Amino acid sequence: MAVNLVSQYQLVLPEVRPEVLHLVRETVRAHLRLWLADSAVLGATELLTNAMVHADSGCELTARRVPEGVHISLVDYGKGHPQVKDPTDHQTTGRGLALLAGVVDEWGIEPLPLGSKVWFTLSDPALAAFAA
């Protein structure tokens, strides 16, 4: 699975004409959805990898559409709780939560009686435009 982290789209129009507006709207909408999807896939993959490497248990991954975008959470049943680490250059693990923090709008860890819940939200700029 390839993740496209391109974060800019530029369209040069030598002339703006009424018949082009619909095409431009759809193109911009498609790019916004793509960027949201890329970050959601990367974030969900990080949550799953963290559970696989550290929890040694089953898990539940939930993705929900919310008014402002998307909310994804993972509950695992491991004994420990995820922690943000500061790995050295030579360590091969410990960067997942820092990576997650870099691509999502909000995230958190909730200790549970049996396991942990790690979640993140991504805002959808297309939805935010309607809320303004």
Where are the domains positioned within the chain? 18-131
Residue 93 CB neighbours (<10 A): 11
Domain 18-131: homologous superfamily in CATH? Histidine kinase-like ATPase, C-terminal domain (3.30.565.10)
Highest-confidence range of 39-43, 89-93, 118-122, by mean pLDDT?
Answer: 118-122
Distance between CA atoms of residues 114 and 120, nearest Å: 20
Q: What is the pLDDT of residue 126?
A: 58
Structure confidence at residue 61 (pLDDT)? 93
pTM of the model: 0.72
Reading the block at residue 91, the tokens are: 């360590």
